C-alpha cells in the first residue's frame, strides 16, 4: 500500500537558520513526489516535485528537496528560513501508474524572529 510519513508534527527554527522538513514514502514502482504548503484557511500551493532526473529539486520561494531512493525519503529544505515561511507543509506521493495523491499528515513549520 502507498503511504507517506511526516514524522514531525511541528518544526521550530529561528529566522535565518536552515530548515528541514522530513518525509518518507512507500510506493510500488517509481515514485512521483510532491511538496505543498498550506496557509491558514487557504488551499494548497504547489512548491516542487520530483518525477525523474536530478535528485536535488529546486522549487518556489527558495525551497528545495532531495530525493533519496535508498532511504525512500524526500526531505524539504531551505538554507535560510523566513518568518513568512511559517505554514503547514504536506508531502505527497503517487505511483507512476496511479492518479490520486497520497498525502502525509502535514508538518507545521514555525519560524521565529
Partner 1 sequence: NAGVMQNPRHLVRRRGQEARLRCSPMKGHSHVYWYRQLPEEGLKFMVYLQKENIIDESGMPKERFSAEFPKEGPSILRIQQVVRGDSAAYFCASSPQSNEQFFGPGTRLTVL
Are the C-beta atoms of 107 and 6 separated by less than 8 Å?
Answer: yes
Closest CA to 54 of 40, 66, 72: 66
Based on CB atoms, which residue is closest to partner 1, 70 or 97?
97
Q: Does 46 bind partner 1 (CB under 8 A)?
A: yes
Min dist CB 41 to partner 1, Å, is 8
Per CB under 8 A, which region of 11-19, 21-29, 31-39, 62-70 contacts partner 1?
31-39
Closest CA to 96 of 48, 36, 46, 52: 52
Q: Does 83 bind partner 1 (CB under 8 A)?
A: no
> SS3 breakdown of the chain: % helix, strand, coil, rounded to 5?
5, 55, 40
Helices (H), 15-61: none
Per CB under 8 A, which region of 12-20, 30-38, 54-62, 66-74 contacts partner 1?
30-38
- Catalog residues that contact partner 1 under the rule CB under 8 A: 4, 32, 34, 36, 41-46, 49, 51, 90, 92, 99-106
Amino acid at each position: 500500500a502507498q503511504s507517506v510519513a511526516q514524522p514531525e508534527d511541528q518544526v521550530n527554527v529561528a529566522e535565518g537558520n536552515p530548515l528541514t522538513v522530513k518525509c518518507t514514502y512507500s510506493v510500488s514502482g517509481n515514485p512521483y513526489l510532491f511538496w505543498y504548503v498550506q496557509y491558514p484557511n487557504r488551499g494548497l500551493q504547489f512548491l516542487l516535485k520530483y518525477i525523474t532526473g536530478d535528485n536535488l529539486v529546486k522549487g518556489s520561494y527558495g525551497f528545495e528537496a532531495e530525493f533519496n531512493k535508498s532511504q525512500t525519503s524526500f526531505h524539504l529544505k531551505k538554507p535560510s528560513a523566513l518568518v513568512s515561511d511559517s505554514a503547514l507543509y504536506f508531502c505527497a506521493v503517487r505511483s507512476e501508474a496511479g492518479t490520486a495523491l497520497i498525502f502525509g499528515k502535514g508538518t507545521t513549520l514555525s519560524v521565529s524572529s
